[in-house]
Each structure stands twice: as C-alpha cells, then as structure tokens.
Structure 1
Amino acid sequence: MIQAKIVGAGGYGGVGITELLLKHPHVNIATLVSLSDTGRRMSDVFPHLRGFCDQTILSPEDPAANQAHDLVIFSTPDRVGMQTAAAEIEKGAKIIDYSGDFRFNTPERYTHYANFLGKNPTHDAPELLSATQYGLPELHTLTTDQQLVGNPGCFAVSCILALAPAVQAGIVDLTSIICDCKTGISGAGKKPSPGFHYPNRYDNMNAYRLSGHQHMVEIEQELGLLCDQELQITFTAQAVPVCRGIMSVCYANLNQTRLDELLEIYRTFYPSNGFIRVQDANQPASIADVRGTNYCNLTVDIDQRTQRLRIVSHIDNLMKGQAGNALQVLNHLYGFDPDTALNQPGQYP
C-alpha cells in the first residue's frame, strides 16, 4: 500500500485529491498537512467527508508529518514545494506538485512565469528542474522511475489538449493561435477575496490579467516542444458565474485541411480509451458533461468562411485541471491502470 502525504489538505486541491484517494485500492492517506487547519479533523473542515476521512490535520513542523512517505502531493502555492522537494526525494518519496514550481524545464521559464504573478522570479531549487516532468500524460510518458512531476495549470491543460494534435501535425499558422478561456470561480481557490465575493460575482463576468496570464508560459512551452520551435499565443482568461468548469475556445489559421482530415488527426492523437473525447460540432457539448470527471471533451471544427481551426475544450478545473490529473499522473508513476479511481461519469443534472 502506498503511503501518501497531502500538503495543503485544507484547500480545494487538497480535498479533491483526498476524495479521489479514498477510492483508490492501492493508496492510503497516511498524513494530512495544512498551515491554516492544523489540529482540526479533515471532516470538520469539509463536513461531507464525515465518516470517510476523520484524520487530524497536522502542522508542517509536526515530526509525524516529516516521516518518510512513499508519495507527497503538494496542493500548495508557489514556492512551497521547491523549499522541501529535495528533502522528500532524499527520503525516497515521489512528488506531485500542483504549483508552478516544477512545470518548467529551465529557470528562465520559471522566471517568466513568476514575473506574470509579480512574485520572486528566482527558483530556489533550479537543480531539480532537469529532473522534473510536466505532468500531462497525454503528451509525456510518465514511468515508475520518475520522482518529480509538476501538475499542469488548469487553463494550460484545457488549451494544450485542444491544440496539441494540430500543432504537431503542422497544419496551423503558429503565429495565429488564440485561446479564449472562461473559468468557474472555484479556480480562484478557497480563500475569500473581494473579486470573488458573491455579490460581485453573481450575474457578472469579466476578463482578467490581460497584461499576461501565467499559464501562457506553460502552454507555449508544451506546444513549442511539439513543433520544435518557440511560439507565442494570444490568451484571454475570463471569470464566469459558475462554480467549476473551464471552456476554452482555441483558434488558429489553418492550412488547406478538410474537416474529416482534421477529425482523423485528433482521433489518432487521442486514443478512444483515454480521457480525451473527440467529437464534431454536430454533438452538443458543455461543461456540465465533464463536471466531476477527469475527462476533456474536444469539439473539433473548422470555420469554413475564414478557414480557421476552432476547437472547443471543456474540462472540470478541479479534476482534469487539478486533482483528477494528479491522480492520473500517480497511476502512471506506479504502473497502475490510468483510470484507477477515476473512471466515473459526470454529475447530472
């Protein structure tokens, strides 16, 4: 049985992976850690877990929290994982980090990312970046030898999955890529803020971080690897008054490619038994179809008037955009079936 520690258990990402691991036949949640909820039971912080997870949450300084674990999941803000990852690896742990600490293959890319957030641009563990793997199993092979994985950002998952087949196939103008993304308010996390106060958010929507969103950096990194060149995208994030879900509409000028050829490219890239479901524009699609699941639904289309690629990507930001993807990564790291504890339909209605 894999003994797991969840750091940052009191947030949405922490409770999300807790819910999933409670159903996993090969993982035991040995330790829960949180600065803000130290000493409380997990089921007191999240009452829906009463009788399912009544463990006491420990402080990061508690000796019991710092014993060796097989797996450590950091559901924490930037710069937490980079401070302690080396020590956890030294004790033999595999690490999955939700933050931007280990999503990038060079310190320079991390600096670019941190500058968008106005944070310290210096990575404190640059020696680990060469050993990390970007945690998107649809693009990268994750083996049992891998010890350190950076879980992708939610917008990045949605956009990369939407564009990867077309970029790799060389059928789009790389200078013309536009990602128009809408997210539910849970993407802002559990901590209250004025912008996500109910009276300000209800019946309202807005674009934000127009000067540059941090997820652009990893989108450009991953798409660039597929075409073996640097590229830049236009990216717009918008907050909409729903709880969970992301809808990204991605556009690019298309070379002379028919719709049937485009669908074949996408269906070949994403096997039908995976978590990516490819459909044409005749099938209805919405974020409700993927709510509570690890699926990404891709509607593949061509604007026949302008000959532009148009891909509509739907994910649950807290699942395929966070905890669900992390569990998919875990399954690969330990050689389990990728859908272990993840094979479930969406919540309806």
Structure 2
Amino acid sequence: MKVSVIGATGYAGIELLRILYNHPEAEVMYLTSESNTGRKISDVYEHLYKIYDQQLISMDKIDEIADASDFLFICLPHGHAMQVGRQLENKAARIIDLGADYRFNNTEVYEKWYKVKHTHKTTNRVYGLSELHREMIKSAKIIGNPGCYTTASILALAPLVKYGLVEISSIIVDAKSGVSGAGRTASPANHFPELYDSFKAYSVATHRHTPEIEQELSWLGQKKVTLNFTPHLVPMDRGILSTCYANILPSVTKTMINDAFHSFYDKEFFIRLRGINSYPTTKNVRGSNFCDIGWHVDQRTGRIVILSAIDNLVKGAAGQAVQNFNIACGFNEKTGLMMAPVYP
C-alpha cells in the first residue's frame, strides 16, 4: 500500500516513519512539512540519514499526494485534518488522523472542548481504538486515531464498564505523561530548566482528552459517563502511566474482575495483562505497541485501582495508527509492529 505522511516532522510523524520503515506492506510516497519545505527529512532529523532521504514538500500539493497514495497519515494539530478530509472527500485515498478532528461522534463536543468550528461533520469516520472498533475500522473512510491519555485510560477501564462491575459515576483517572506528548514546539513549560526535577499537574478538569474517555466508556456501558481526569507532566521523554479508580458494585468479587479482564483481552495481542496486584511501568513498554494493565482491589474502601502503561508515541499515537492501517488493509495486525520494548 502506498502511504504518505502529512506533517512528518512532529514527534508522532517521526515515530510513524520509524515504524513504517520496517512495514513490509507499506511504501512511503510523500512527506510534508510547512516549516521545512524543500529540505530533506534526514537533514531535519539526522537519525534518519540513509533511512529516509525524501524531500519534504508542501501540503499545497495535497491532491497530487492523495492521487498517489492509498492512505494518508495526518500528523497535524487539531483543526487541520478536517480541511484535508473535506478537500479529499471524493478521492479514493483513506485517512488516518492522528489529531483530534475525527475522534468525536458528536462534533458539538469537539467544538466545545477545542474551541474550533468543525467543518467536516458528515463523513464516514470511526474512533480508531483498535481493540474496541475493529469491525468499523475495516471499512471507514476516515479513522480518528485516539489520544494518548485516552488510549491508556479507556483500555484500563473498558472491561469493568462493559460488564457492569463498577459505579460509573465514581470513576477517576489520574495519568502521567512524558513531555513528548506536548509535541515538538518549544514552550516555557517544556523548557529543560522548568521541567527537569519537577512533577506537576495541569489542565485540571479541562483537559481535552476528557470527553474522549467519556464518549467511549459511555458507549461501552450504555450509560452516560462523567468522570474526573487529571493529567500530569513527568520529566521523561516518552511514556504514560494511567491510574484509574472506581467503586466496585456490591457482590462483585475479585474472580469476577479477573474474568472480565481476561474475557475482554485474552485474544488481544497488544494488551498484556499483568494481573492482580501487579505494577505496570512505562519502562517495560518503551518503544513498543504494548499496553500493560494491572489492577488492585482495595477491600477496605470498596474500590479498584487499575494501572495502565503505554508508550505515548507508539500505542498512544503512531503504533496505533499502524495497527489501524493493518486492520483497514486486511493485514495481520502485528505487521510492522513486532518491536520488543527498548530496555533499559
């Protein structure tokens, strides 16, 4: 399949190129960058020397790019992918958007949280969390790749909500991310002297990944879910650890909880159930498409604590995009993604 990457010089785009390089069924055609047009990708990122030496072109040639591609991976900030999607509506090329433009069933929710008018409301799209929407991903014209925090959090909570084992009104998500989740653009908050040797929360009660988590859990539980989500920034380059809390319903046992996780995930290769009383870590998933999940039952408080670890640039972005690409093309889902985690 011929693929092109729109916005190839961001962290998600570069991670995507790393994965696609070893994908036997993907041929990279075009790479775009508005800030580095005309330069070789290997001049912008020297680690790609002798791996990718294509010249970066502008999105002005999007029609030409689409005509030469079966799939477009769009790695742009929110507000841009829907412009491309609208322009290419009558083209055969399919789109995997790593941004937020196509993640929401209700575009009014998108407009409320992202403060941007949605200009491509009616299109064949699907929320691209592979383990939840595999069948729809197979045929969707546009796949809205989930956010990184949302991937870790939804996967942690999905079995419990699906099988009705917890009070959905009691859910709290407390997640920590490496700084690459903020993108490559410099800002004072991500400046090394500000970030190093510090640990902070941000966007309390206002983070834009909140409605994504609520949307998918509401779909799973067939009831509206409203939850607390607090993100934190950790002084490391990549990784997410999501700690999720919920009240266990009366008469629910540890065995029922264990069975729920295994029933939901035993056939999912990229979900590694570490089991009850385990402690998933970002170190053990670094550079891989795995999501490690463990859980603890606090009988004293009647609550369950679920821990979920992913690499935010792989399972939380580029790896998930390739997993969706594989599903959409009918390839084995593992194709191009059989990377062992990088350790130490």
The TM-score, its normalising length taken from structure 2, stands at: 0.96
Distance 2:290 2:138 in 1: 23
Distance 1:143 1:214 in 2: 23
Distance 2:204 2:212 in 1: 17
Question: After the TM superposition, which of the residue ranges 282-291 and 310-319 deviates more from structure 2?
Answer: 282-291
Q: Secondary structure at the match of 1:5?
A: strand
Distance 2:201 2:238 in 1: 17
Distance 1:154 1:65 in 2: 27
Q: Secondary structure at the match of 2:160?
A: helix
Distance 1:259 1:193 in 2: 45
Distance 1:66 1:320 in 2: 26
Q: Encode CA deviations 1:204-225: one digit per residue, 9 max, x unaligned.
A: 0111011411101010000000
Partners of 1:70 and 1:94 within 8 A in 2: yes
Partners of 1:4 and 1:71 within 8 A in 2: yes
1:318 aligns with 2:307: no
Q: Secondary structure at the match of 1:20?
A: helix
Q: Encode CA deviations 1:55-76: one digit per residue, 9 max, x unaligned.
A: 0010111475454421011000
Q: Encode CA deviations 1:105-158: one digit per residue, 9 max, x unaligned.
A: 1222212321xxxx32x2111112xx2100001111245422110000100001
The TM-score, its normalising length taken from structure 1, stands at: 0.95
The equivalent position to 2:132 in structure 1, one of 136, 139, 154, is 139
AA matched with 2:339: Q
Pairs within 5 Å for 1:1-349: 2-62=1-61, 64-65=64-65, 67-114=67-114, 119-120=115-116, 122-128=117-123, 131-141=124-134, 142-255=136-249, 256-349=251-344
Gaps of 5+ in 2: none
Q: Encode CA deviations 1:14-44: one digit per residue, 9 max, x unaligned.
A: 1111111111111100000111111111111
Aligned length: 341
The CA RMSD over aligned residues, in Å, is 1.4
Q: Encode CA deviations 1:223-242: one digit per residue, 9 max, x unaligned.
A: 00011121100110000111
Distance 2:289 2:166 in 1: 28
Gaps of 5+ in 1: none
Distance 1:285 1:313 in 2: 6
AA matched with 1:336: F
